[in-house]
């Protein structure tokens, strides 16, 4: 609980507001539902009235990969939502492992228990390579499915943060219990604002944990609670059988999948 309070004190909001972009310069505003930079400024006030619109790097003015500004905003917005969701998982997971909380059953079929460690990153280092490969495989599949299975890509006017349902009638990861199907449009908009703010706060919180674990005293409030970590965050497979390539292999594969999907979406939008 003390860790949670410490991270909450660090919260400030950053730049971008949700958008529905386009895919290519050839696409017209009348053919796709999209928002402009002015819409981002309006929604930024809803996200944090004190900070408002804040984009010191000017990312909302860019045109990545030669695409339109609206498509670029869509990519940035999707990235923010995705990183926010992962950060919320990471934030909770760090607290859980730091307090030596594990599942009561064995981790492996041979009876090997879940590791009980002093810092969350040590738990990652302690699990076997087979478990790490399973995790990376699952992440890679979810990334591919998000890019390839949506009806309309988030850079072409599709929904930001949407997770397409799986084949065979399996529920979507976004709303497996279908709790949001009866919500009004206003309630869905409010929940999106809440999610974005929670994701931004979680990103700040988990970065505070990581900074304090590597540089003691960098986050004074956390120095009493976060223990030092001897590993390297930038080399997640440092204690694996392929430590030298681990820092680049997985990001390269997932980004290649994204570019492949983007190429298909752009080609389809120009036909």
- Distance (Å, whole) CA 178 – CA 91: 26
Residues 6+ apart with CB under 8 A from 234: 247
Least confident residue range of 24-28, 68-72, 218-222, 260-264: 24-28
| Tokens coding 154 | 């988030």
Give the chain's mean pLDDT. Answer: 78
pTM confidence score: 0.74
How far is C-alpha 126 from the chain's CA centre? 24
- Distance (Å, whole) CA 39 – CA 34: 9
Residue 172: helix, strand or coil by DSSP?
Answer: coil
pLDDT at res. 105: 93
- Cα(first)–Cα(last) distance of the chain, in Å? 55
Kindly state the helix (H) or strand (E) to which residue 7 belongs, with its residue range. Answer: helix 2-8
Residues 6+ apart with CB under 8 A from 3: 94, 95, 98, 209, 222, 225, 226
pLDDT at res. 87: 96
Least confident residue range of 52-56, 99-103, 168-172: 168-172
Q: How many CB atoms lie within 10 A of CB 34?
A: 22
pLDDT at res. 177: 80
Nearest alpha carbon to residue 85 among 180, 152, 174: 174
pLDDT of residue 198 exceeding 90? yes
Region 223-238: mean pLDDT is: 85
| Burial (CB count within 10 angstroms: exposed 0-12, middle 13-18, buried 19+), residue 228 | exposed
Q: How far is CA 247 from CA 158, 232, 242, 253, 257, in A?
A: 31, 10, 10, 12, 17
Least confident residue range of 7-16, 188-197, 204-213, 246-255: 7-16
Nearest alpha carbon to residue 75 among 264, 262, 225: 262
Region 222-251: mean pLDDT is: 73
pLDDT in tens, 147-196: 888 888 888 888 888 888 887 666 777 777 878 778 888 888 888 899 99
Residue 92 pLDDT level (bands cut at 50, 70, 90): very high
| Tokens coding 257 | 């999948």
pLDDT of residue 238 exceeding 60? yes
pLDDT of residue 117 exceeding 60? yes
pLDDT of residue 271 exceeding 80? no
Rg, Å, the chain Cα set: 20
- Distance (Å, whole) CA 236 – CA 129: 11
pLDDT in tens, 17-51: 333 333 333 333 434 566 678 778 887 899 899 98
Percent of the chain with pLDDT over 70: 74
pLDDT at res. 11: 37
Percent of the chain with pLDDT over 90: 23
pLDDT at res. 5: 35
């Amino acid at each position: 609980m003390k860790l949670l309070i410490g991270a909450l004190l660090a919260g400030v909001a950053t730049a971008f507001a949700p958008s529905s972009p386009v895919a290519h310069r050839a696409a017209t505003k009348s053919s796709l539902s999209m928002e402009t930079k002015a819409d981002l400024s309006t929604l930024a006030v809803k996200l944090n009235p004190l900070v408002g619109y804040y984009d010191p790097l000017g990312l909302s003015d860019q045109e990545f990969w030669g695409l339109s500004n609206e498509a670029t905003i869509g990519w940035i917005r999707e990235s923010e939502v995705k990183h926010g969701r992962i950060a919320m998982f990471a934030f909770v997971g760090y607290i859980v492992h730091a307090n030596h909380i594990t599942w009561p059953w064995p981790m492996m079929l041979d009876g090997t228990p879940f590791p009980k460690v002093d810092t969350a990153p040590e738990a990652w280092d302690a699990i076997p390579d087979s478990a790490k490969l399973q995790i990376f495989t699952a992440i890679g599949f979810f990334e591919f499915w998000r890019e390839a299975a949506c009806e309309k890509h988030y850079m072409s006017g599709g929904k930001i943060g949407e997770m397409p349902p799986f084949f065979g009638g399996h529920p979507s990861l976004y709303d497996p219990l279908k709790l949001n199907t009866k919500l009004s449009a206003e309630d869905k908009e409010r929940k999106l604002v809440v999610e974005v703010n929670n994701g931004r706060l979680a990103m700040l919180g988990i970065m505070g944990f990581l900074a304090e674990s590597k540089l003691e005293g960098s986050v004074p409030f956390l120095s009493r609670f976060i223990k030092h970590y001897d590993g390297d965050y930038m080399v997640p497979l440092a204690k694996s059988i392929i430590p030298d390539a681990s820092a680049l292999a997985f990001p390269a594969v997932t980004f290649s999948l994204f570019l492949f999907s983007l190429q298909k979406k752009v080609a389809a939008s120009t036909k």
